[in-house]
Structure 1
Amino acid sequence: MNYVNDVSPMHRAPENLALWLPKRGRKFEAGPAPYTRPGANELVVRTRAIGLNLVDGIPGFAYRLVVPWLTFPAVVGGDVAGEVVAVGPGVDRFTVGDRVLGHALGLERSQNRAAEGAFQHYVILMAHVVSPIPDSLSFQQAAVLPLQLSTAASGMFQHDGLGLDLPTADPADRGETVLVWGGSTGVGSNAIQLARNAGYRVVATASPRNFDYLHSLGAAAAIDRNSSEAVDELVAAIGEVPLAGSLAIGNGSLPKVMRVAARAPGTKRVSCAAPGLVTRMLALRAPRGVYVSSIWGGSLKDNEVGPAIYTDFLPTALATGAYRAEPEAEVVGHGLEAIPAGLGRLRDGVSAKKLVVTV
């Protein structure tokens, strides 16, 4: 492949193709898109694999609630893996040809531009939410990480979330427990690994068929999320190793996690991955002393957590095997035109997998 380092305006821009969302509630349409040159602290990546997330395919009315600022026509999508084709001023961690994964931030209020949406051949990424990937990691497997990793990290490490200590290459045992309700989800899979790499013991929930998967990620105990005694079983599993914080992931998780946090020793802080309005409404019924915060995955771009994860931790952790790109990628098609059908399948529900489209 001929890589293009187009920092200089003298270079001819490559032809770009995107999957456009013309208006709220309209169907996706594939078509030409402008090629945007990188600005300061930005990269251009030639997309090779795209991970699919529920937020990418929400109905038009839901866009008004979740991302009311989004301007149309839009290019959405958050998960990218591919090759660097251009670097902007101030970028010294990457060179043309590097294999990377990155969190595309086009949906963010502060960004809100089609050039930063993942559903296209050439995407602008902010350099501090991009990580190199080892040759042993395929693009399709790398694409499972970005948004789910960012969401878990934002909820766990930001000061307005759980405020946990950051992961390191050689974590000390902190003598505290992190509860992850929804451990087999994409966010949960990353939360378990991040917590373990930060030195915390993990207790998590899932369906029994995924217990071995949770243990392989580092969970010390796995509890059936569908058990009528799940709250009691979690309190018992936490035991006397106090909570450092709790994550509520998945429909119906927050009320149960709040009950566990109220009863177990340790911190009463809970971070919830549900939409902000839902979290705020449910938090009105939190037991006394339990504090609930809402998670927004893209928020780490604006604080120390973004570079701490993508620059300081993830590159070495992936290269050494201390961190796995999980859950397993399932390729559901090739080309941007395969994305809408993949999103339809995602809405039907998947377990311990991440749907990916290659490009």
Structure 2
Amino acid sequence: MAARTNRAVWQDGFGVPGVVRSSRLATTDELGDNKVLVKVHAWAINPCDYMLQDRNMGPAYPMILGCDVAGTVEAVAPGSTAASQFRVGDRVFGFTANNGFQDYVALEAKLMAKIPGDMAYREPVVVGLCIATSAMLLFGKDYLHLDYPKLGAPKKGKSVLVWGGSSAVGSNAIQLVTAAGYDVIATCSKTNFDYVKTLGAVQVFDYKDPDVTEKIAAELDKGECAGIFMAAGLKDGNVAACKVAGAAKQTIKLASSNFIDSLDGVPEGVDVKQPPPANLKPFPDCWFETTPATFGGYLPEALAKGAYKVAPPPLVVSKKGLEGIQEAVDMQRVIAEKGQDGIREAVNRVKGGIKEGNVSPVKLVVERA
């Protein structure tokens, strides 16, 4: 490998902004059998990035944040398993469990795929972490264990509720579940009803409606519900999703993107699907089982054929390169705190001219300088 330098956005502690400085570059030998070195051309921002920056959530500092990346293959070990899938120069996208805010990132070959056609880096970079998280909880044996998505899957006549359908995770979950042949019922705010329906939801409910529990339970009981997936909402989302499952006449499986710490308050008849903490698989192993629904199966083909939408759509911040990461993380924090008003602020900051009316969800992206 030719000599080169690497830089990263370092998080030296919680409660402080990230700092750009040099970072160690993995050698070809260190990539081993399963990793690929990627020169990053676009980074996407996730809520976990600002949360890990703001709160003491237990990681060892200093650390490098960031998950979603897209770029070109810079190196792969000759004769490796990874080399049978990727070669230098391939345009790829994927993700890592933190460590992504670097100029050069080593990715697990199982958690990346080639970018179809001439799709810009900013498009698929928004997908990785959210689709992998959705797939694990929707299709994993320890969770809802639904049938995998595939092109042209027949309708099953069963429903799945996605709580938090307009979130980044929910946007991907709706598409995966729909592609697996289930009818998606979703929740979101009224302002996002149309957005969620474009992703495949057949029924949408306002999660702020005081009667939402009874309304959704009645809808689910019109047929067989294959499960509830709490995609967004943290503890409040868990409580709300559990109430819906408890109000239904059938026993319903429930999986959550936010681990349910205590099952004591879960209503009778709700089958929470999650392994005990001691049996939780570590990163990145937890995502490997369900790659047939993501990088190793359905996703690349569906993207190439236009059957899968990049959602939420990317909003590229003005400042480029690693120096733009902190600006994007700050904007993500505002979106999380203010919702629609936060999205409007972000869009105005980047594009300008958005004063009134609804704005659809976005995912913030930083492009290479």
Partner of residue 321, structure 2 = 335
SS in 1 for 2:178: helix
State whether residues 150 and 298 of structure 1, in contact with CA within 8 Å, keep that contact through their aligned partners in structure 2: no
Match of 1:270 in 2: 254
Cα contact 2:132–2:287 (8 A) shared by 1: no
Amino acid at match of 1:134: P
Equivalents in 2 of 1:195, 1:268: separation in Å?
A: 16
String of CA shifts for 1:259-316, please: whole Å, max 9, x gaps. 2112335552111122x3xx214x3211112132459895664542135421111110
Structure 2 counterpart of 1:357, from 355, 363, 366: 366
Alignment partner, residue 47 of structure 1: 40
Question: Within 2, Cα distance between the matches of 1:20 and 1:303?
Answer: 27
- Matched AA of 1:71: A
Secondary structure of residue in 2 paired with 1:346: helix
Q: Give the 5 Å matches for 1:155-194.
A: 155-194=137-176
1:299 and 1:265 mapped to 2: Cα distance?
37
Count residues with an aligned counterpart.
331
Residue equivalent to 2:308: 323
Query: How far apart, in 1, do the equivalents of 2:272 and 2:321 lie?
Result: 40
Correspondence 1:345 to 2:331: yes
Aligned position for 2:76? 87
Q: Tell me the residue number matched to 2:354.
A: none
Structure 1 counterpart of 2:298, one-letter code:
F
**Contact 2:250/2:269 (CA < 8 Å) preserved in 1?**
no
Q: Is the 8 A contact 1:342 1:355 kept in 2?
A: yes
Q: Which has the larger displacement, 288-297 or 308-317?
A: 288-297
Once the two structures are overlaid, the 10-residue window that deviates more, 310-319 or 340-349, is: 340-349
Does the C-alpha gap of structure 1 residues 268 and 239 become closer, same or farther in structure 2, counting only changes over 3 Å? closer
Q: Which among 165, 170, 185 is matched to residue 203 of structure 1?
A: 185
Q: Tell me the equivalent position of 2:3.
A: 13
* DSSP-derived class of the 1:233 partner: helix
CA contact (8 A) 1:19 1:336 kept: yes
Within 1, Cα distance between the matches of 2:15 and 2:182?
43
2:128 corresponds, among 132, 146, 149, to 146
Q: Distance in 2 between matches of 1:299 and 1:354?
A: 23
Q: What's the counterpart of residue 280 of structure 1?
A: 261
Alpha-carbon distance, 1:63 to partner: 3.8
For 2:109 and 2:52, how far apart are their aligned partners in 1?
31
| Cα offset, 1:217, TM superposition | 0.7
AA of the residue aligned to 2:103: H
Question: How far apart are residue 59 of structure 1 and its match?
Answer: 5.2
1:241 CA drift (Å): 2.2
Instruction: Please state how far the C-alpha of 1:335 moved relative to its aligned partner.
Output: 1.5
**Any unmatched runs of 5+ in structure 2?**
341-360
Q: Which residue of 1 aligns with 2:269?
A: 289
Post-superposition CA distance 1:203-249 (Å, at most 9, x none):
00111121111111110101111111111221233242211111112
Q: Point out where structure 1 has 5 or more consecutive residues left out of the alignment.
A: 1-10, 108-116
Equivalents in 1 of 2:366, 2:194: separation in Å?
27
Pair 144,260 (structure 1): closer, same or farther in 2 beyond 3 Å: same
CA contact (8 A) 1:244 1:267 kept: no
Deviations 1:49-79 (A, max 9, x none): 1111121122568343xxx3x3332112111
- Identity of matched residues, %: 34
Could you tell me which residue of structure 2 aligns to residue 111 of structure 1? none
| 241 and 62 in structure 1: CA distance in 2 versus 1, 3 angstrom threshold | same
* Contact kept in structure 1, 2:162 and 2:185, CA below 8 Å: yes
**2:233 equivalent among 233, 246, 250:** 250
Corresponding position: 1:57 with 2:66: no
Distance, in Å, in 2 between the alignment partners of 1:231 and 1:302 is 31
The SS at the match of 1:120 is coil
CA distance in 1, matches of 2:255, 2:108: 25
* Deviation of the 1:192 alpha carbon: 0.2
Structure 2 counterpart of 1:6: none
